[in-house]
Amino acid sequence: MKNVKQNSNSTAQQVSRRTIVGASAVGGLALGVGAGGLITKALAQKVLADATTAGEVSAWVVIAPDDQVTIRIARSEMGQGTLTGLAQMVAEELECDWTKVKAEYPTPGQNLARNRVWGDMSTGGSRGIRGSQDYVRQGGAAARGMLLQAAATLWGVPVDELKAENSTVTHAKSGKSTTYGKLVGEASKLPVPDLKTVKLKDPSAWKLIGKAGVKRLDTADKLNGKQVYAIDLKLPDMLTATIMDAPVFGNKLKSYDEAKVKAMPGVKGVYKVGDTAVAVVAETFWQAKKGLDALSPVWDETANNKVSTASIAELLKAGLTSNEGIFTGNKAGDADAAIATSAKKISATYDSPYWNHVTMEPMNCTAKWTADKCEVWVATQNGDASLAATAEASGLPPSKCEVYKVHLGGGFGRRGFQDYTTKAVLLAKQLPGIPVKTIWTREEDMRQGRFRPVSQCKLDAGLDAQGNITGFKMRISGPSILTAVAPSRLNKDGSDPAAYQGLNADGPEGQFGYDIADRSIEYAMRNLHIPVGFWRGVNNNQNAVYLECFMDELAKEAGQEPLAFRRKMMAKYPKHLGILNAVAEKIGWETTKPADGVFRGIAQHMGYGSYVAAAAEVSVSDRGKLKVHRLVMGTDCGYAVNPDQIEAQVQGSVAYGLGASLYQKITIKDGRVVEENFDTYESMRLEDFPKIETVLKPSGGFWGGVGEPTICVAAPAVLNAIFAATGKPVRSLPIRDVKLRA
Amino acid sequence: MANLNINGKMLDLKVDGDTPLLWVIREQAGLTGTKYGCGVGQCGACSVQINGELQRSCTISVKDVKAADKIMTIEGLSADSSSPVQKAWLALDVPQCGYCQSGQIMAATALLAKTPKPSDADIDAAMTNICRCGTYQRIRAAVHMAADMKKA
């Protein structure tokens, strides 16, 4: 992966942060998606001409004379395979030779200068494929059309007599044939057609999309140390820094022992970064770290110093029954009345902790600042946001900034937030002309997370004499992510739509899959000083645990087995039911018995446009030791682009989500994070990884996400299997902290 | 100063003696395939071989490494990614983000050197490196595949 060749002719237009981050309208300049923004058409065309690299057919496709095809990818590859999947989609329509395809990232600066021709660079919400499938396929199809037209003109034949396949254009009537590499010179001079006129293949004609065994484009360099991650970057005269921000988030930095540290070997200086952080810059990382360890920084104290896990739990618990700061999401009928008159009333309270992303590669960013230009090299899930953060921190307009996207050592949502870019630029600005790489220690990475929010949930339901649910209530209490990071995306009433993920009456971001006439899903927003963020699966993680585990509690109270209990409420939700049934069949729910001492659990959910379900087999020893023997994970993601990578994502989602549910919690004491490294914040390792069978059932007709959805069902399936084994519901995470046997 | 034998090359490096070997490999020797993940010997991203033994280089001070010690990093495993472990990793598309994979490959290589035909339990016991992407199922399959390649 290389960045696209730099366009040295920067434009001078001023573009606000909002324009960069929020732009998404369709523009007609070149091929793809753009926003009008503040760039005039004439200016944009000039920039386009300057930036066009030799062999560019459309913005997405560059072809070399030797038929090597370079496909431009706007989204970030962080392991999820989207780079390969998106390239497959362009190549499918381009009809090129897949063995001669490579991929490259355009830079956010080029995207801005070219009127956002590559569309949204943000890579989150499992949107890599589903959010860009239409225009990347159109980009490939348009380029194929231009190549065909070039051949038609060359041979003086009608374009509809030509066929494009495997990077070759043939004319059957005359027997003429030539390759894309020979046509690219003429094709690239043709106008790019209007996207609306570009016809896409019918899915039945796909050859590369959905094919099994299509290898990733980015594996080879990950096997021999050649892959350059952001933390590996080397630049001439570069210095290395490490940083510490206020452990009690937001508290102001008061003092530090600068004189002592400045005299240490290799140390170039000690710099305040913003109002809250301090960095030591040195020749090497270890010198910088030794300096920071000796710095003794002191921060002021605020009311936040008194916040603890226990005080947070009290606040959230009050939210479960409070009448203040309450929002209502999915509501129909009168749940309270229906429950009040029920034969049986059931209530339960669940909770789940803060989680940190803990990407394998700790946060880091390299920045070089001069009065005319600020350049940043960063592993980012959102190049546009990195550019905006760079502009804001550097004090320079975006046109004088550039961001070079470097390979990510994991993302999981963490690298959508640009706090680490901002700090690196604020530091580099104090050392003009010198590239400074700021590397966070693992400890800093753990303390300065953008945490999956802590929450509690009270569930209430009534059952009639036949064991049917009469009314259902769910009250979630916890911090709001969007209030903290994107207030413009809040609902009009100030509520956070992300709080209801998987519980909505309708929509691709998680439709509640049970037909219950009298229902009410409420949210008590309780915000704290601890920064929250999007963590793979986001609020679906805990929402699915609360809902699906309570369903098993209700099934038991109704005297029914959990699958049948769910099915009778799911007739109106055939896709939810379809994948649940597929998973049940695979594990043998109704056909085989598990081994002695092994118990099964099942769960279903919908999120990120996909329908998912899981079934688990577990045992719990007499001493309460849990073993997960088997997991069947199912997804209906509509269309499956790369089945091998979907399988990898499903397995990965189990390690990430079930691993967190088993072991992880971020504890708050005296206002700060207690855990600092993998010794206290454990990650799932190979020996604990259950055997996973993936059931891929793409039913077609829609595009669902892949990276996140299945994470939501692994934990509830295991928790329900534990409930089946012990008869005692697990209502608190992580599981490690719960005594499974009395 | 440190005299180190890395991947068969003698290097004369200017470095403070208390610097962890990991950072000397990355910054002074310039071999960035060996990764920083935790700094406390927990995650295994920094795994290298020293005299054939698997070691976590973040917890070894460079002053404790002798010039006679033979250090092998991921870059020294093969000239062209042709070792059985690398070939198996490629065949099964094991990596996702890939950041931990240098360490995983070094750990798998060390395991197969001692246990040419490991069972799942052997693999579980030996492969303790953390992968946050969750490539474990493919790692297990690739270790078996590499073992079969070596046998063949």
- pLDDT tens digits, one per residue of A76-89: 999 999 999 999 99
Residue A298, pLDDT above cutoff 80 = yes
Cβ within 8 Å of B, A 378-397 = none
Domain contains A7: no
Residues 6+ apart with CB under 8 A from A254: A298, A299, A300
Same domain, A580 and A714: yes
> Residue with structure tokens 């009168």?
A334
Give the C-alpha separation, A210 to B18, whole Å: 53
Alpha carbon of A109: minimum distance to chain B alpha carbons (Å) = 25
pLDDT computed for residue A77 by the predictor: 94
Same domain, A583 and A694: yes
Alpha carbon of A28: minimum distance to chain B alpha carbons (Å) = 35
All residues of chain B having their beta carbon less than 8 Å from the beta carbon of residue A655 are 131-134, 136
pLDDT computed for residue A563 by the predictor: 98
**In terms of CA atoms, which chain A residue is nearest residue B89?**
A223
Q: Which among A409, A659, A692 has CB closest to B97? A: A409
Give the pLDDT confidence of A639-683 residue by residue, as tens digits.
999 999 999 999 999 999 999 999 999 999 999 999 999 999 999
Q: What is the mean pLDDT of chain A?
A: 92
Q: Which among B98, B128, B133 has CB closest to A685? A: B128
pLDDT computed for residue A196 by the predictor: 77
Alpha carbon of B142: minimum distance to chain A alpha carbons (Å) = 13
What integer is the mean pLDDT of A216-241? 97
Give the C-alpha separation, A345 to A458, whole Å: 13
* Domain end point (choices A439, A463, A498): A439
Domain contains A9: no
pLDDT computed for residue A32 by the predictor: 25
Same domain, A404 and A497: no
Cβ within 8 Å of A, B 16-45 = 16, 18-20, 23, 26-28, 30-40, 42-43, 45
Closest CA to B106 of B35, B37, B20: B35
Q: What angle do CA A26, A29, A32 make, to 5 degrees?
A: 50
**In terms of CA atoms, which chain B residue is nearest residue A411?**
B97
Same domain, A400 and A281: yes
Domain contains A1: no
Give the C-alpha separation, A438 to A424, whole Å: 6
pLDDT computed for residue A4 by the predictor: 53
Could you tell me the CA-to-CA distances from B96 to A87, A552, A647, A734, B125 in Å, in that order?
16, 34, 12, 26, 22
* Domain end point (choices A192, A215, A238): A215
- pLDDT > 90 fraction of chain A, expressed in percent and rounded: 91
**In terms of CA atoms, which chain B residue is nearest residue A360?**
B37
Beta-bridge partners for A401: A374
Q: Where are the strands (E) in A379-528, listed by range?
A: 401-405, 436-439, 455-463, 469-478, 519-525
Two tokens, residue A671: 């206002």
Find the helix or strand (DSSP H, E) in which B98 lies.
Answer: none
Alpha helices, DSSP H only, in B20-135?
21-23, 84-91, 101-114, 120-126
Residues 6+ apart with CB under 8 A from A722: A599, A601, A618, A620, A626, A730, A735, A740
Buried b (16+ CB within 10 A) or exposed e, B104-133: bbbbbbbbbeeeeebeeebbbebbebbbbb
With H, G, I as helix, E, B as strand and everything else as coil, classify residue A628. strand
pLDDT computed for residue A25 by the predictor: 26
Give the pLDDT confidence of A557-571 residue by residue, as tens digits.
999 999 999 999 999
**In terms of CA atoms, which chain A residue is nearest residue B130?**
A685
The verdict on a CB contact (< 8 Å) between A360 and B37 is yes
Give the C-alpha separation, A211 to A592, whole Å: 32
pLDDT computed for residue B152 by the predictor: 63
To test the contact with chain A by mutation, choose from B7, B62, B99 the residue with the greatest count of A C-beta atoms within 10 A, namely B99
Q: What pLDDT band is residue A53 in, cutting at 50, 70 and 90?
A: low
- To 10 degrees, what angle do helices A133-155 and A180-187 make? 90
The verdict on a CB contact (< 8 Å) between B37 and A362 is yes
Q: What angle do CA A347, A348, A350 make, to 5 degrees?
A: 155
Which domain, by its residues, includes A287?
Answer: 230-301+363-439
Residues 6+ apart with CB under 8 A from A119: A24, A32, A33, A34, A74, A132, A135
CA A526 to mean position of chain CA atoms: 24
Residue B92 touches chain A, beta carbons under 8 Å: no
Give the pLDDT confidence of B15-37 residue by residue, as tens digits.
999 999 999 999 999 999 999 99
Same domain, A531 and A511: yes
Same domain, A465 and A368: no
A–B interface: beta-carbon pairs under 8 A: 185
Q: Which among A408, A644, A692 has CB closest to B97? A: A408
pLDDT computed for residue A453 by the predictor: 98
Q: Which among A218, A677, A685 has CB closest to B38? A: A677
The verdict on a CB contact (< 8 Å) between A226 and B140 is no
Q: How many domains does chain A have?
A: 3
What integer is the mean pLDDT of A421-448? 98
pLDDT computed for residue A509 by the predictor: 84
pLDDT computed for residue A14 by the predictor: 29
The verdict on a CB contact (< 8 Å) between B137 and A691 is yes
Q: Any idea what the CATH number is for the domain that residue A118 is in?
A: 3.30.365.10
Q: Which among A215, A412, A686 has CB closest to B136? A: A686
pLDDT computed for residue A194 by the predictor: 85
All residues of chain B having their beta carbon less than 8 Å from the beta carbon of residue A358 are 132
Domain contains A8: no
Q: Which among B19, B40, B99 has CB closest to A410? A: B99
Give the pLDDT confidence of A606-636 residue by residue, as tens digits.
999 999 999 999 999 999 999 999 999 999 9
Residue A36, pLDDT above cutoff 50 = no
Same domain, A330 and A387: no
Would you report the helix, strand and coil content of chain B in percent, each value rounded to 5?
Answer: 40, 15, 45
Cβ within 8 Å of B, A 624-643 = none
Q: Distance between the two ends of chain B, CA-based, in angstroms? A: 45
pLDDT computed for residue A195 by the predictor: 75
Give the C-alpha separation, A163 to A725, whole Å: 61
To test the contact with chain B by mutation, choose from A535, A686, A687 the residue with the greatest count of B C-beta atoms within 10 A, namely A686
Pairing of strands A253-255, A298-299: antiparallel
Instruction: Check: CB of residue A515 under 8 Å from CB of residue A573.
Output: yes
Same domain, A455 and A435: no
Domain contains A12: no
Residue B139, pLDDT above cutoff 60 = yes
> Residue with structure tokens 């259950």?
A690
Q: How many CB atoms lie within 10 A of CB A497?
A: 18
Domains within chain B, CATH numbers bracketed: 2-76 (3.10.20.30), 84-151 (1.10.150.120)
pLDDT computed for residue A163 by the predictor: 98
Burial class of residue A97, CB neighbours in 10 A (0-12, 13-18, 19+): middle
> Residue with structure tokens 């598309």?
B93
Domain contains A221: no
Same domain, A185 and A254: no
Letter for the amino acid at B50?
A: I
Same domain, A135 and A245: no
Give the C-alpha separation, A410 to A126, whole Å: 14
Same domain, A416 and A509: no
Domain contains A349: yes
The verdict on a CB contact (< 8 Å) between A219 and B129 is no
Instruction: Specify the range with the lowest mean pLDDT, choosing from A47-51, A55-59, A133-137, A404-408.
Output: A47-51
What integer is the mean pLDDT of B42-59? 98
Give the C-alpha separation, A351 to A309, whole Å: 12
Residue A274, pLDDT above cutoff 80 = yes
Give the C-alpha separation, A106 to A387, whole Å: 13
Q: Which among B20, B94, B130 has CB closest to A286? A: B20
Domain contains A167: yes
Same domain, A237 and A282: yes
* Domain end point (choices A215, A247, A266): A215
